[in-house]
């Protein structure tokens, strides 16, 4: 922590701050300039910056260590690769997760899963419990949805990611899924994060709609500090003044997070865009910027989807997107699954 | 719903949209202008606006009914007054809730409660479970904190409001408190809101740091639709580009919510400000703008508080603020408790 | 400037930074902690912080002096009072400026001026050149508008403030007005600001719709550094994600600016609100928060105004507002003109 | 315009609105539903939506035509290609503009121009007049800078784009440059835009840091409506709550603008990023999202640049970026200049 005293701060004020910092367990270095005194405080203490800032004579307080530790490049320089079976997220291959917003019925889940596998997706996405802003909207099929998704994933040899909204759902979702998804609204549901830190399955942690990058990494820290090191970050657009697009997809955040953290970061262009004709440009942009993967909403019949239909791609649009991504990925030394995974026979 | 077709939309495109709306259970009125056709859709259906917007020939879709019902002035024109004992929130008196960020020990809770009662507060605030951005920060005393708060409230004849972070805490907090507080991070924790809708105690619902007013009212709808009509809204500052202040206290929201909704709205100038020397101006502004109450952090020794010390007022500052508010309230036909409530003997 | 080195920065990297800072004219103090080295750089140089930040081994660079000087409380502790005739902006009295958005015709200007004077305004506001987002909207009467405004101000013994949009308009507006108004869109029109710094009439500088407080004070510095010390800051709402209100009126900024700067700050609740039924709550809030004045749009017939009609108050609304403000001002030790100024006969 | 009446609006209120709309020159279609009445107003009038919104019984007013005309796809469906010599902006080739933030001296301009030409840039960028937030920062070389830039552009067979800050600079910059650049801070300097509408050289119009897409297109309308049809839009990052990156580069805006408008859109990843190690990811993302070109800051010695050094690329970084872009462009059916343009001998 660096404490910048005001110009003209008195000796008594300076000494008051030094004394307080020492009480807080810090060693203090003092630099006296012509105009100002600057105090550098180092040590094992965790002084409260805002309290120091309120002291007489203090102009500004600057933290000099990031508040997150385990998520930082300082703590671990080499990138983390999260593995699910033979799928490696954060490695050379850009991993694509795709599927419907929510499971609606067997036919819808099956045909969508088959379509995304053929196009090159490795992981099926799909929700069984839906957080909706309005209490009057479709809320998901619950466990029945999870069963449909698992069956389809098995049939198509895909891994499965699905959203967990509450600690009460963790055990259930763990039984069916390979990756826990934590939605944007739950990014600071610390009770949930802490419990996921004690599980062994990877967690895909979406950025809150108005979360800073620092807060996002702090939330990952809740999971990491519990012992679960398999966190996948997911950028999905932030809220800004612009209303022509539903969210502002923060492509800069992808590049910045890769500088600050060793964790893999994927992008959700579907929520970033909010409408299907904007998904492909954002997906291409995310991969070009260095994203380790994508999570995309695809529906076999989006015009009749029970949720998020407008932002779900038709299978043919998704095919074309995958072809475009295969051209882009080599620009940054990455690849994208060329051939669809061999289909594992249903029921085998 | 109003559907604005593009200039030059074909007859087939227009008929396609009409057909789809009718399928969705709507009656459709068609207005043909020189340049454009506009379709008005009314009825009991709940058409998905974004899906219609994706149809060929459609330029824009406009919802014509607010997505919230029970919270709106249209549903209930007269203001709701939430009562807790003889305290009326939303009536002529501006109600002040005050107390420490978190309960730390008996002496701190007792002396702070006594101070705020003497100054005119009617409700004690204080946390036992603290949501913290960092897993390494003080997380609250738990039930012991609730017990300390309840005892102090009883001793001072104050009602008690305390934060509930998770459904697992509801029963416990209900035993000790008069009002459930839902924090900004939980404004869209729909599992929690739905459960609180089935309880009988009032809920103070803070606005999320990046929630629109519409989303805030939709969240109240989760509680109201469960049968609990005692919701108190609480503005506490939103996140903007400005960094000189911790949040941007949205004083306009207070006036706007009172137009849109019958629910009482209070202000939290402590979180809005983030530092104690900014709390009084925001508190005065909130009352001048028409807030039905305030919730203020006060601490008997803020420099040694375990959380939020920098934004907690000294008791003497709080006294002065209450005196200022007593001058302001009559400008809008309100009053503020002049005399402190008679102290109820401890343990009686 | 404080330079925080990365954990594990090499001696060569540290020395490279020290060498560079010395080249830039700074004295460097070095603090070596267990984990990190921190460099404090003081002196007369103006090192480019972002360049240092790009150097190998550097984690973060923190400026320790505010980039503005003349506008700061450090430079001048006592508040600046801007005087126009016998009107003192920044003194004990809260000064109210009011009038139409734009001058439209003699009758409109005259009757509006008479109405605001009777209610207690001291300064007439009104535009002759209007910056409009659309090239197809009413653009103002030009010099004829200025003449109408001046005549009405003289007749009612009011001072006059009017917007200058471009350096080419300065001479003209100076002939007619007592205070130059710089609109939000021109807050960083540095050519204009620099020229106004060489004039002798006060400048009312509106905050840009997305300007930080620091940028706003830096813009005032362009005027102050030219020798014109009479700058009045004006908060008028910022752009945020909220769309229920046209802008988010930043009441916190009023309190913060008064801490950081000695300049008077007034509020424009009309643009902050965007609709007349929201103007009074924001005006009351601004005064309660400590604003030195208000600038309010009032129109004798707002329903037929050529611009900003929806946010212009009826004279009767303005009367009521002034009465409310007279109750509020004493809460912060201020007053508001009780009696209307004696009317100076027209043409005398 | 569609006017949605409140539930329970009286017949008198409805008729009042109809009457007002007819006075404003509109034809009105009335739809009466069970709960509400909706009025569709079409015609040649330009009714003020906010005024109607203030009328009794009105719930909401929705504009049904975009406020910009000439910039819209409705007005002109096929994309505009802006030509400068044989350079076509908006055609199949992605056009890259590159060069220093500001011209500093002959050697710097010459060597930077040579480097960017070799890498494949077609247009030299560079400033002679610099808008700076602080009055104490380097403000540019003025005409001498323009001369240096023009000479270097001629020597390397590059076209030249440079910023015009004020109408007083237009004639001068027109003599030296091929494209006028309007900076973000001047996006709503309507005096400047209107004058550029009367010139014959193309205008590169940067988006304001907090401008909505609609406002940006409205600003282009000021130029287009003057008769100058050669407008190039430029996305350069918007201001949001995120502070880890200097701006939030709005890649969604690129895709959205191409839907709404026929004008070409280029991206400025340098200002979007604010630091050179973030420029390449954003540049790749912009091209992948469909940008028609880029404008990039490159400096022969960025560590000693007089402005924007931290965000200026080294020539070798720019070479690598161009190679990456050549891989990406074909994914969206575009190309990027493969061979550097033949160098035209200096002085010829």
User: Tens digits of per-residue pLDDT, C235-279?
Assistant: 999 999 988 888 999 999 999 999 999 999 999 999 988 889 999
What confidence score (pLDDT) does residue B346 get?
A: 41
> How does strand A87-89 pair with strand A58-62?
unpaired
- 10 Å CB burial of residue D49 (0-12, 13-18, 19+) is middle
- For residue C274, the distance in angstroms to the closest alpha carbon of chain D comes to 9
C127, D293, C108, A133: which is closest to B217 by C-alpha?
A133
Question: Searching chain D, which residue's CA lies closest to the CA of residue C278?
Answer: D54
- Judged by average pLDDT, the poorest of A58-67, A297-306, A310-319 is A58-67
Max avg pLDDT among A37-41, A272-276, B210-214, D39-43: B210-214
Question: Searching chain A, which residue's CA lies closest to the CA of residue D326?
Answer: A331
- Judged by average pLDDT, the poorest of A288-302, B73-87, C99-113, D133-147 is D133-147
- For residue C209, the distance in angstroms to the closest alpha carbon of chain D comes to 8
pLDDT tens digits, residue range B32-46? 766 778 887 877 666
What confidence score (pLDDT) does residue C131 get?
A: 67
- DSSP-assigned states of every residue in C258-286: HHHBSS-EEE-HHHHHSSGGGHHHHHHHH
The per-residue pLDDT of chain A, averaged, comes to 89
What confidence score (pLDDT) does residue A95 get?
A: 97
- For residue B72, the distance in angstroms to the closest alpha carbon of chain D comes to 12
Which pLDDT band holds residue A36 (cuts at 50, 70, 90)?
Answer: confident
With a cut of 50, say whether residue D346 has pLDDT above it.
Answer: no
Q: Which residue has the higher pLDDT, A190 or D48?
A: A190
With a cut of 60, say whether residue B344 has pLDDT above it.
Answer: no
Which residues of chain B lie closer than 8 angstroms to C328, CB-CB? 288, 327-328, 331
**What is the count of residue pairs from B and D with beta carbons less than 8 Å apart?**
75
pLDDT tens digits, residue range C140-170? 888 999 999 999 999 999 999 999 988 889 9
What confidence score (pLDDT) does residue D156 get?
A: 96
Taking phi first (over 0 means left), then psi (-120 to 50 degrees means alpha), and beta for anything else, what does residue C40 get?
beta
Q: Which residue has the higher pLDDT, C260 or B65?
A: C260
Q: What is the ipTM of this complex?
A: 0.88
DSSP strands (E only) in chain D = 2-5, 26-32, 37-43, 58-62, 82-84, 87-89, 93-99, 123-125, 159-163, 179-182, 203-206, 231-235, 265-267, 293-297, 335-336
Which residues of chain B lie closer than 8 angstroms to A303, CB-CB? 51, 54
Which residues of chain C lie closer than 8 angstroms to B242, CB-CB? 212-213, 238, 250, 252-253
Length of chain A: 348
pLDDT tens digits, residue range B255-271? 999 999 999 999 999 99
Q: What angle do CA D71, D74, D75 make, to 5 degrees?
A: 55
Query: Tokens 């998905």 appear where?
Result: B48
Q: Which residue has the higher pLDDT, B168 or B122?
A: B122
With a cut of 70, say whether residue C340 has pLDDT above it.
Answer: no
Touching subunits for chain C (3+ Cβ pairs under 8 A): A, B, D
Percent of chain D residues past pLDDT 90, beyond the cut: 64
Average pLDDT over residues A235-264: 93
Least CB–CB distance from B255: residue in C248, C253, C281: C281
CA atoms within 13 A on the CB side of A290: 21
Average pLDDT over residues D165-185: 94
The three-class DSSP label of residue D248 is strand
With a cut of 80, say whether residue A343 has pLDDT above it.
Answer: no
Between the CA of residue A42 and those of A11, A21, A28, B63, C37, what are the distances in Å? 21, 9, 6, 56, 10
Question: Searching chain C, which residue's CA lies closest to the CA of residue A239?
Answer: C241
With a cut of 70, say whether residue D342 has pLDDT above it.
Answer: no
Q: Which two tokens stand for residue A147?
A: 């069963």
Spatial distance between the Cα atoms of C299 and D316, rounded to a whole number of angstroms: 62
Which pLDDT band holds residue B136 (cuts at 50, 70, 90)?
Answer: low
What confidence score (pLDDT) does residue B141 get?
A: 84
Which residues of chain B lie closer than 8 angstroms to D245, CB-CB? none
**C291 touches C267 (CB < 8 A):** yes
Give first-to-last CA distance, chain D, whole Å.
Answer: 60
- For residue C174, the distance in angstroms to the closest alpha carbon of chain A comes to 36
Q: Is C238 on the interface with B (CB under 8 A)?
A: yes
pLDDT tens digits, residue range A167-219? 889 999 999 999 999 999 999 988 899 999 999 999 999 999 999 999 999 99
**A264 touches A293 (CB < 8 A):** yes
With a cut of 70, say whether residue A11 has pLDDT above it.
Answer: yes
What confidence score (pLDDT) does residue B44 get?
A: 65
What confidence score (pLDDT) does residue D81 get?
A: 97
What confidence score (pLDDT) does residue C347 get?
A: 39
- 10 Å CB burial of residue A334 (0-12, 13-18, 19+) is middle
| CB atoms inside a 10 Å sphere around CB C141 | 22
- For residue B32, the distance in angstroms to the closest alpha carbon of chain D comes to 9
What letters, b where the CB count within 10 A reaches 16 and e where it falls short, cover B221-232?
bbbbbbebebbb
Which residues of chain A lie closer than 8 angstroms to B134, CB-CB? 67-68, 218, 221
Spatial distance between the Cα atoms of D317 and B211, rounded to a whole number of angstroms: 41
- For residue C120, the distance in angstroms to the closest alpha carbon of chain B comes to 17
What confidence score (pLDDT) does residue C176 get?
A: 97
- Judged by average pLDDT, the poorest of A293-302, C85-94, D2-11, D62-71 is D62-71
> How does strand B265-267 pair with strand B293-297?
parallel
Average pLDDT over residues A113-123: 97
Q: Is D168 on the interface with C (CB under 8 A)?
A: yes
Say whether B240 and C238 touch across the interface (CB within 8 A).
yes
- 10 Å CB burial of residue D174 (0-12, 13-18, 19+) is middle
Cα Rg, chain D, nearest whole Å: 23
Spatial distance between the Cα atoms of A158 and B119, rounded to a whole number of angstroms: 64
Q: Is C190 on the interface with D (CB under 8 A)?
A: yes
With a cut of 70, say whether residue A34 has pLDDT above it.
Answer: no
pLDDT tens digits, residue range A37-95? 888 787 766 677 878 888 889 988 877 667 788 999 888 999 999 999 999 999 999 99
Q: Is C209 on the interface with B (CB under 8 A)?
A: no
With a cut of 50, say whether residue B205 has pLDDT above it.
Answer: yes
With a cut of 80, say whether residue D271 has pLDDT above it.
Answer: yes
Which residues of chain B lie closer than 8 angstroms to D4, CB-CB? 2, 62, 64
Q: Is C243 on the interface with D (CB under 8 A)?
A: no
With a cut of 90, say whether residue D8 has pLDDT above it.
Answer: no
What confidence score (pLDDT) does residue D166 get?
A: 86
What confidence score (pLDDT) does residue B133 get?
A: 61
Least CB–CB distance from A191: residue in B50, B165, B208: B165
Average pLDDT over residues D26-31: 80
Average pLDDT over residues C35-57: 79
Dihedral sign for Cα atoms in the order A308, A311, A314, A319: negative
Touching subunits for chain B (3+ Cβ pairs under 8 A): A, C, D
- 10 Å CB burial of residue A175 (0-12, 13-18, 19+) is exposed
Spatial distance between the Cα atoms of D309 and D315, rounded to a whole number of angstroms: 13
pLDDT tens digits, residue range D75-125? 899 999 999 999 999 999 999 999 999 999 999 999 999 999 999 999 999
Average pLDDT over residues D238-263: 93
Say whether A2 and C6 touch across the interface (CB within 8 A).
no
Residue ranges and CATH numbers for the domains of chain A are 2-62 (3.30.70.1140), 82-336 (3.20.20.70)
What confidence score (pLDDT) does residue C345 get?
A: 46
Spatial distance between the Cα atoms of A189 and A167, rounded to a whole number of angstroms: 10
Question: Searching chain C, which residue's CA lies closest to the CA of residue B213?
Answer: C244
Q: Which residue has the higher pLDDT, B165 or D181?
A: D181
| CB atoms inside a 10 Å sphere around CB D338 | 8
Spatial distance between the Cα atoms of A44 and A27, rounded to a whole number of angstroms: 9
Which residues of chain A lie closer than 8 angstroms to B132, CB-CB? 190
The per-residue pLDDT of chain D, averaged, comes to 89
Say whether B64 and D241 touch across the interface (CB within 8 A).
no
Query: Tokens 């400068």 appear where?
Result: D84
Least CB–CB distance from C275: residue in D54, D274, D310: D54
pLDDT tens digits, residue range C219-242? 999 999 999 999 999 999 999 998
The per-residue pLDDT of chain C, averaged, comes to 89
Percent of chain B residues past pLDDT 70, beyond the cut: 92
Say whether C50 and D239 touch across the interface (CB within 8 A).
no
Spatial distance between the Cα atoms of A235 and A251, rounded to a whole number of angstroms: 8
Q: Is D301 on the interface with C (CB under 8 A)?
A: no
What confidence score (pLDDT) does residue A59 get?
A: 86
- Judged by average pLDDT, the poorest of B184-188, D136-140, D145-149 is D136-140
**D272 touches A251 (CB < 8 A):** no
- Judged by average pLDDT, the poorest of A178-192, B185-199, D298-312 is D298-312
What confidence score (pLDDT) does residue B174 get?
A: 96
- 10 Å CB burial of residue B97 (0-12, 13-18, 19+) is buried
């Amino acid at each position: 922590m660096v404490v910048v005293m005001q110009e003209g701060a008195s000796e008594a004020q300076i000494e008051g701050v030094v004394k307080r910092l020492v009480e807080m367990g810090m060693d203090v270095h003092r630099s006296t300039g012509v105009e100002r005194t600057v105090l550098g405080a180092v040590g094992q203490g965790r002084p409260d910056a805002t309290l120091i800032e309120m002291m007489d004579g203090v102009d500004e307080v600057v933290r000099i260590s990031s508040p997150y530790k385990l998520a930082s490049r300082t703590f671990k320089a080499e990138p983390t690769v999260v593995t699910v079976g033979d799928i490696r997220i954060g490695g050379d291959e850009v991993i694509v997760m795709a599927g419907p917003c929510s499971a609606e019925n067997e036919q819808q889940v099956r045909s969508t899963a088959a379509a995304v596998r053929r196009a090159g997706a490795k992981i099926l996405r799909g929700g069984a419990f839906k957080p909706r802003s309005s209490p009057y909207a479709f809320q998901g099929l619950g466990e029945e949805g999870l069963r449909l998704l698992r069956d389809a994933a098995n049939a198509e040899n895909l891994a499965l990611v699905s959203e967990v909204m509450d600690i009460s759902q963790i055990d259930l979702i763990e039984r069916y899924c390979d990756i826990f998804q934590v939605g944007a609204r739950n990014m600071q549901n610390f009770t949930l994060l802490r419990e996921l830190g004690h599980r062994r399955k990877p967690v895909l942690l979406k950025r809150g709609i108005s979360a800073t990058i620092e807060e996002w990494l702090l939330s990952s820290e809740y999971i990491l500090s519990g012992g679960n090191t398999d966190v996948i970050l997911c950028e999905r657009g932030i809220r800004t003044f612009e209303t022509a697009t539903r969210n502002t997809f923060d492509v800069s955040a992808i590049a910045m997070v890769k500088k600050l953290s060793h964790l893999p970061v994927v992008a959700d262009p579907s929520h970033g865009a909010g409408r299907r004709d904007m998904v492909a440009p954002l997906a291409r942009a995310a991969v070009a910027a260095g994203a380790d993967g994508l999570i995309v909403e695809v529906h076999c019949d989006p015009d009749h989807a029970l949720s998020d239909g407008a932002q779900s791609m038709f299978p043919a649009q998704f095919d074309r997107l995958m072809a475009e991504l295969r051209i882009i990925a080599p620009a940054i030394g990455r690849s994208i699954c060329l051939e669809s995974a061999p289909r594992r026979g249903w029921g085998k």
